[in-house]
């Protein structure tokens, strides 16, 4: 009789009651003990041997795991925020608590399932990590876990539980019904700007919260699409140090995409990405981004010399405020981009703030709502409401001051008879506006039919300017490909998303704009 190992494993049956094969083994061995080795029960012996071998293996592994288990409980004792961490076993068959409905996504690091909590009926997203985790320490030190467990904001997707069972790690997130890509892809006409304002306001609130706590997302994008399109130039040029301003760049690109239903910088490669940026916002100069020129020279890269276009040509139906915000967010120099807190003060978001009725303009007439009317009266009185921001930026015009100017520029530019404008404005007719899918879903060549960039001789030159000589730079997130900018840059792997639910109106009370922050990085 295999008494020794069994005695050991019985002990662990108590500690880990939901390990089913141990329970089974326990039952079979009891049977053998009761009936001795009666011949008609001899057939049970091989089965018992097999189960006992498993029990032995389990017992040995438990002996190794026990210290980790104790560590985790000590950790829980001293770190209350980690109450979301659960050893699957101690939760008593956590799978029994959730109904897995269907797989909704397959990321680099895990598969995501839609599931329902049987007890509460709550719909959740369960992400099963592909890599095995052999200790709790490994799990607790994961960037995703460390950062998300500290975030508690209505516009940041909630990490509800972290479960480790049989060395497999599961994250239970609140479920997001929709993402920006899904919203845009079947969209037959442009979104109302009030909707875009509402969504972005919420995302900026989430970002503000996150940035103020020393974290940034660094992989904001509408969905599972090319991260490159939203990647800030300092990252493309492999700056050693980058900050939360990379999120602000991405938000500029996303806002523009929402306003026009076309990606703003749809680069087919890294070199092409920089080319696209130059062709939209104009090449950087010593005045606009000296540091960027230095970064480029370090990797032996030469910017194409392009004048850029007025963003209002690319989004002719966007308000001057919206265009101005995109312009500010997509500044070459990160220090010229507003912070999330500053962006929330931008005139584009004025109507998102509640103004008590007593302070609202008495003359609010016509079709404008009182808030919009008040905003309008601020404009006509030429009061830049947030002068502190405006004066702190030497090169940047104050938000309020530029509005009239931008409107004039916009109407002039739309009438200009250039190939760029003709094509851009023509393709932006509201009734024809359709989302241009990312290359993963449609080939870049077919995409170019809809997204026309001025092609000059420099484009090939830029692509060919992918020369060696640059140093390898550590990327903040592993994985990826060889850079076409010459050095072995590791691409910032896609990691996380911007989520929002459609149909929300009141930004302060509803929760559509969520940051799915699985790729949070700590600010340097």
Identify whether the C-beta of residue 13 lies closer than 8 Å to the C-beta of residue 24: no
Closest CB 438 distance from ligand ATP, rounded Å = 13
Binder among 10, 69, 224, 353 for ligand ATP (CB under 6 A) = 224
β partners of residue 210: none
Binding of ligand ATP at residue 518 (CB under 6 A)? yes
Give 515's contacts (C-beta < 8 A, 6+ positions apart): 155, 156, 157, 203, 206, 207, 210, 217, 220, 496, 498, 499
Give the ranges where 43-192 is alpha helix by DSSP (H). 44-78, 136-140, 143-148, 180-185
Site string for ligand ATP, 414-433 (x = CB under 6 A): --------------------
Task: DSSP for 117-159, please give it.
Answer: ETTT--EEEEEEEEEE--SHHHHHT-HHHHHHTT---TTB--E
Binder among 266, 495, 507, 513 for ligand ATP (CB under 6 A) = 495
In three-state secondary structure terms, 498 is strand
For the chain, what is the largest distance between any 2 Cα atoms, rounded to a whole number of angstroms? Answer: 102
Binder among 112, 190, 232, 306 for ligand ATP (CB under 6 A) = 112
Of 16, 18, 13, 174, nearest in space to 96 by CA: 18
Q: Which is nearer to ligand ATP, 86 or 115 (CB)?
A: 115
Q: Which is nearer to ligand ATP, 110 or 486 (CB)?
A: 110
Task: Please report, in range form, the residues annotated as the binding site.
Answer: 128
**Which helix (H) or strand (E) is 255 found in, with range?**
helix 245-260
Give 386's contacts (C-beta < 8 A, 6+ positions apart): 342, 345, 346, 398, 399, 400
Closest CB 236 distance from ligand ATP, rounded Å = 18
Identify whether the C-beta of residue 334 lies closer than 8 Å to the C-beta of residue 235: no
The total of other beta-carbon atoms located within 10 Å of residue 509's CB is: 8
Among the candidate windows 92-100, 394-402, 454-462, 494-502, which touches ligand ATP by CB under 6 A? 494-502
Q: Which is nearer to ligand ATP, 125 or 253 (CB)?
A: 125
Binder among 516, 517, 520, 521 for ligand ATP (CB under 6 A) = 516
Site string for ligand ATP, 65-104 (x = CB under 6 A): ---------------------------------------x
Closest CB 227 distance from ligand ATP, rounded Å = 8
Binding of ligand ATP at residue 157 (CB under 6 A)? yes
Binding of ligand ATP at residue 113 (CB under 6 A)? no
Closest CB 207 distance from ligand ATP, rounded Å = 17
Binding of ligand ATP at residue 282 (CB under 6 A)? no
Q: Which is nearer to ligand ATP, 180 or 315 (CB)?
A: 180
Identify whether the C-beta of residue 163 lies closer than 8 Å to the C-beta of residue 139: no
Q: Which is nearer to ligand ATP, 133 or 420 (CB)?
A: 133
Both tokens assigned to 45: 């012996």
Of 284, 217, 226, nearest in space to 257 by CA: 226
Closest CB 164 distance from ligand ATP, rounded Å = 17
Identify whether the C-beta of residue 348 lies closer than 8 Å to the C-beta of residue 325: yes
Task: Please report, in range form, the residues annotated as the binding site for ATP.
Answer: 128
Closest CB 153 distance from ligand ATP, rounded Å = 15
The catalytic residues are 219
Binding of ligand ATP at residue 107 (CB under 6 A)? yes
In three-state secondary structure terms, 280 is helix
Q: Which is nearer to ligand ATP, 351 or 518 (CB)?
A: 518
Binding of ligand ATP at residue 261 (CB under 6 A)? no
Among the candidate windows 36-44, 56-64, 106-114, 187-195, which touches ligand ATP by CB under 6 A? 106-114
Number of residues that bind ligand ATP (CB under 6 A): 21
Binding of ligand ATP at residue 386 (CB under 6 A)? no
Q: How many CA atoms lie within 13 A of 94 on its CB side?
A: 21
Binder among 110, 233, 252, 284 for ligand ATP (CB under 6 A) = 110
β partners of residue 112: 105, 127
Contact positions with ligand ATP (CB under 6 A) in 169-188: 173, 175-176
The total of other beta-carbon atoms located within 10 Å of residue 331's CB is: 23
Closest CB 312 distance from ligand ATP, rounded Å = 32
Q: Where does this chain bind ligand ATP (CB under 6 A)?
A: 104-105, 107-110, 112, 125, 127, 157, 173, 175-176, 224, 493-497, 516, 518
């Amino acid at each position: 009789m295999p008494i020794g190992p069994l005695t050991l494993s019985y002990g662990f049956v108590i500690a880990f009651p939901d390990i089913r094969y141990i329970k089974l083994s326990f039952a079979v061995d009891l049977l053998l003990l009761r009936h001795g080795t009666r011949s008609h029960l001899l057939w049970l012996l091989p089965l018992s041997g097999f189960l006992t071998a498993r029990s032995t293996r389990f017992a040995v592994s438990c002996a190794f795991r026990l210290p980790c288990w104790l560590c985790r409980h000590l950790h829980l004792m001293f770190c209350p925020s980690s109450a979301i961490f659960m050893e699957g076993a101690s939760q008593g068959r956590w799978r029994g608590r959730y109904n897995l409905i269907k797989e909704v996504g397959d990321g680099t690091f895990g598969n995501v399932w839609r599931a329902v909590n049987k007890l509460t009926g709550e719909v959740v997203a369960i992400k099963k990590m592909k890599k095995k985790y052999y200790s709790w320490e490994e799990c607790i030190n994961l960037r995703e876990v460390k950062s998300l467990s500290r975030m508690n904001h209505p516009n940041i997707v909630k990490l509800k539980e972290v479960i480790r069972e049989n060395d497999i790690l599961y994250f239970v997130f609140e479920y997001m019904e929709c993402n920006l890509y899904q919203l845009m892809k079947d969209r037959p006409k442009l979104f109302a700007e009030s909707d875009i304002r509402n969504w972005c306001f919420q995302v900026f609130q989430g970002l503000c919260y996150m940035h103020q706590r020393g974290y940034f997302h660094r992989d904001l994008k509408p969905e599972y699409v090319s991260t490159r399109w939203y990647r800030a130039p300092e990252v493309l040029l492999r700056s050693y140090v980058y900050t939360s301003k990379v999120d602000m760049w991405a938000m500029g690109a996303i806002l523009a995409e929402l306003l026009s239903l076309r990606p703003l910088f749809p680069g087919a490669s890294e070199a092409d990405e920089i080319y696209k940026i130059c062709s939209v916002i104009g090449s950087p100069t010593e005045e606009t981004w000296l540091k960027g020129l230095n970064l480029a020279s370090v990797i032996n890269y030469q910017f194409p010399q392009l004048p850029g276009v007025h963003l209002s040509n690319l989004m002719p139906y966007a308000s001057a405020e919206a265009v101005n915000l995109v312009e500010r967010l997509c500044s070459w120099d990160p220090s010229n981009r507003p912070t999330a807190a500053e962006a929330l003060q931008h005139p584009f978001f004025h109507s998102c703030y509640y103004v008590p009725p007593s302070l609202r303009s008495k003359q609010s007439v016509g079709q404008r709502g009182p808030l919009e009317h008040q905003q309008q009266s601020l404009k006509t009185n030429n009061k830049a409401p947030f002068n502190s921001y405006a004066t702190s930026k030497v090169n940047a015009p104050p938000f309020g001051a530029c509005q009239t100017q931008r409107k004039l520029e916009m109407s002039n530019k739309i009438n200009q008879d250039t190939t760029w404008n003709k094509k851009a404005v023509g393709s932006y007719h509201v009734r024809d506006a359709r989302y241009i899918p990312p290359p993963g879903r449609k080939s870049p060549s077919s995409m170019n039919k809809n997204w026309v960039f001025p092609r000059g001789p420099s484009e090939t030159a830029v692509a060919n300017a992918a020369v060696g000589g640059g140093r390898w730079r550590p990327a903040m997130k592993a994985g990826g490909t060889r850079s076409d900018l010459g050095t072995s840059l590791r691409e910032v792997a896609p990691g996380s998303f911007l989520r929002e639910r459609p149909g929300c109106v009141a930004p302060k009370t509803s929760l559509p704009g969520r940051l799915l922050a699985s790729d949070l990085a700590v600010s340097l």
